[in-house]
Amino acid sequence: MPRLVVATGNPGKLAELQAYLNDTGWELALKPPELEIEETGTTFLENARLKASQIALATGEWAIADDSGLAVTALNGAPGLYSARYGATDAERINRVLTGLAGQGDRSAHFICALVVVRPDGTVAAEAEGICPGEITEEPRGQNGFGYDPIFGVPELGCTYAEMSAAQKHDLSHRGRAIALLKPQLAALG
Ligand code: IMP
């Protein structure tokens, strides 16, 4: 089974993906640290395709990339593609969303995750998009997770991403849903 190079320098992300994709038989590897890719796409899927194909072409190996973010309806889809850059720290980013929604009746939002696998020649072999609908809470709640987790409430469970266990979050999160859609495609490629 060939290796899949992950378009991340973050060993945590690699370990998480490896755990989810273990039973597909693919072995995951970190991208070479000197490879930096600009995210110039206009959608999450475009950005994931861009990252994966550049890594594949540079390494000559199969590659996988993800791109994800939070879209808030009353903020016209912001922070969207700028989720990671919406402020200098998680606290600032969260505060900016809460401030932007002050006095707003509509607190609906969704998280999106796009995952793309490309062949060594840079062509797309598999892709999936997972969406988790929810609503922005009035204030942060919970200690788990990262990023916007404390203000993303999932009505189905009556709690925020940050109040869920890792297993619960995996089952219903945007990333979990994208992985579930990608897995059968990936297994078929092997
Ligand atoms: P990426 O690493 O370029 O995909 O950026 C994703 C950004 O979206 C992160 O920096 C977070 O701010 C946000 N994000 C994506 N997924 C999650 C999640 O599961 N919980 C909280 N924030 C997330």
pLDDT in tens, 78-120: 999 999 999 999 999 999 999 999 999 999 999 999 999 999 9
- Give the residue among 159, 153, 182 at the shortest CA–CA distance from 70: 153
Q: Residue 128 above 80 pLDDT?
A: yes
Given this model, what pLDDT does residue 10 score? 84
Average pLDDT, the chain: 94
Beta-bridge partners for 109: 72, 134
Q: The whole model's pTM is what?
A: 0.94
Give nearest CA residue, ligand 1 atom 9. Answer: 84
Q: Is 148 close to ligand 1, i.e. is its CB under 6 Å away?
A: yes
Given this model, what pLDDT does residue 189 score? 86
Q: Kindly report the CATH number that applies to the domain delimited by 3-189.
A: 3.90.950.10
Active site residues: 67
Q: Is 8 close to ligand 1, i.e. is its CB under 6 Å away?
A: no
